[in-house]
């Protein structure tokens, strides 16, 4: 429903006055103009970054082998410094779109830092695979984790989680340890679950993204290890997916619901095949998937109610603001568009 229709409905119900309707409409008109300009700036920044990355890729593909080791290190270091510096400046900008661009640039700096550390570990220190993984993961984490405090964002979370998993896998790959490959999946699963729990506790933002990203990482880690311990890891994967669905219903997290549902749809048929082989056949597999659809439909209905979707009648807690003003805390734009609760995010106005 358009904002104009909402305003008229609220005015007719006596929730806001006529002058407030006009004030909100004017604010949204001005805000929408600013949003379009910010989006244009953001798009230009992304195009420029993509061109720069493409240029570096072409350069490295054609001439990388002809560079000396010092030249390679200098090029990657320059890329890291430029991306990191530009990211810090953009992350401190006033416009939300500029800050989002800053988060992406800081994430790129984290990747470049890992690249630099990998070159040093492999070609300078002549470390083994475990040492290279540790160097890459630590360098990426050192850049991205503090940057998450400056500019919470999806790209930074992705690089940060990947860096921590790389460190964990590198530590488990040390020559003194000789675990089965399934343990690598379990370790990566543990890190991803811890990431999701920290996100739910508010330590990592945006919260909804942290839960969904951690859940997806946990499911992918288990799926990657199913060749060694299929029944155990698939069972744990199903429990993980069910936990995400339950969390989505309780907390109203649609991203977690999507990730958990996909995990169940992928792993339940696999586990059924591992346990029963061809004995149950296609009809039983279809039955399992059908039951999952029914359960997820019930979960979606509950989640829709929790999210305050169409057809729900429960009023918003606290009642309407007398002035119609947005009560979202200032400075919370880092969760705009990323926190997947049902209430609309209004970091730059009361857009719908």
Where in the chain are the domains? Answer: 1-62, 67-178, 215-312+331-352
- DSSP-derived 3-state class of residue 310: coil
Q: Is the dihedral of CA 149, 146, 198, 163 positive or negative?
A: positive
* Residue numbers in the chain where pLDDT is lower than 70: 1-4, 27, 29-43, 45-46, 49, 52-53, 56-57, 59-62, 278-286, 288-289, 293, 296-352
Spatial separation of the C-alpha atoms in residues 342 and 101, rounded to whole Å: 25
pLDDT of residue 178: 74
| pTM confidence score | 0.72
Alpha helices in 173-229 (DSSP H): 181-200, 207-224
Spatial separation of the C-alpha atoms in residues 158 and 211, rounded to whole Å: 12
Going by C-alpha positions, the residue among 86, 130, 89, 150 that lies closest to residue 112 is 86
CA distances (Å), origin 129, targets 7, 112, 125, 178: 61, 19, 12, 14
- DSSP-derived 3-state class of residue 152: coil
Contact 133, 173 (CB under 8 A): yes
Alpha helices in the chain (DSSP H): 3-12, 18-63, 69-91, 96-119, 129-150, 154-172, 181-200, 207-224, 230-251, 254-276, 281-306
Contact 91, 151 (CB under 8 A): yes
pLDDT of residue 300: 63
Q: Give the number of other CB atoms < 10 A from CB of residue 214.
A: 28
pLDDT of residue 114: 96
Q: Give the number of other CB atoms < 10 A from CB of residue 102.
A: 24
pLDDT of residue 299: 62
pLDDT of residue 294: 72
pLDDT of residue 23: 78
Spatial separation of the C-alpha atoms in residues 97 and 90, rounded to whole Å: 9
Contact 107, 148 (CB under 8 A): no
Spatial separation of the C-alpha atoms in residues 28 and 21, rounded to whole Å: 11
Q: Is the dihedral of CA 247, 337, 54, 143 positive or negative?
A: negative
pLDDT of residue 106: 93
Angle separating helix axes 129-150 and 69-91, nearest 10 degrees: 20
Q: Which two tokens stand for residue 204?
A: 């990592």
Spatial separation of the C-alpha atoms in residues 122 and 144, rounded to whole Å: 22
pLDDT of residue 191: 97
Angle at 102 between CA 337 and CA 160, to 5 degrees: 80
Contact 285, 272 (CB under 8 A): yes
């Amino acid at each position: 429903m358009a904002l104009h229709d909402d305003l008229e409905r609220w005015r007719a119900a006596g929730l806001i006055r006529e002058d407030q309707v006009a004030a909100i409409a004017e604010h949204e008109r001005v805000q929408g103009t600013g949003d379009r300009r910010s989006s244009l700036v953001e798009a230009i920044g992304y195009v420029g970054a993509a061109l720069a990355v493409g240029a570096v890729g072409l350069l490295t593909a054609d001439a990388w082998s002809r560079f000396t080791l010092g030249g390679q290190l200098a090029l990657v270091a320059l890329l890291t410094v430029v991306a990191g510096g530009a990211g810090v400046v953009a992350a401190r900008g006033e416009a939300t779109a500029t800050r989002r661009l800053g988060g992406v640039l800081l994430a790129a700096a984290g990747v470049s830092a890992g690249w630099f550390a990998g070159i040093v570990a492999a070609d300078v220190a002549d470390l083994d695979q475990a040492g290279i993984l540790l160097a890459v993961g630590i360098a990426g984490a050192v850049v991205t984790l503090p940057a998450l405090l400056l500019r919470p964002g999806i790209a930074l979370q992705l690089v940060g989680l990947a860096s921590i998993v790389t460190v964990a896998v590198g530590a488990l790959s040390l020559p003194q340890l000789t675990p089965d490959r399934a343990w690598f999946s379990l370790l990566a699963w543990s890190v991803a679950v811890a990431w999701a729990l920290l996100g739910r506790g508010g330590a990592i933002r945006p919260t909804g993204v942290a839960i969904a990203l951690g859940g997806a990482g946990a499911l992918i880690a288990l799926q990657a290890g199913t060749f060694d311990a299929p029944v155990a890891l698939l069972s744990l994967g199903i429990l993980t997916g069910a936990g995400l669905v339950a969390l989505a219903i309780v907390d109203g997290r649609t991203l977690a619901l999507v990730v958990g549902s996909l995990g169940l749809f992928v792993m339940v048929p696999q586990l059924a095949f591992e346990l029963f082989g061809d004995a149950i056949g296609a009809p039983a597999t279809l039955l399992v998937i059908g039951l999952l659809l029914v359960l997820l439909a019930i979960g979606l209905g509950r989640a829709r109610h929790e999210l305050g979707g169409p057809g729900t009648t429960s009023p918003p807690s606290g009642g309407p603001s007398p002035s119609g003003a947005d009560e979202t805390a200032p400075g919370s734009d880092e969760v705009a568009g990323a926190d997947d609760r049902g209430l609309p995010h209004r970091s730059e106005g009361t857009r719908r």
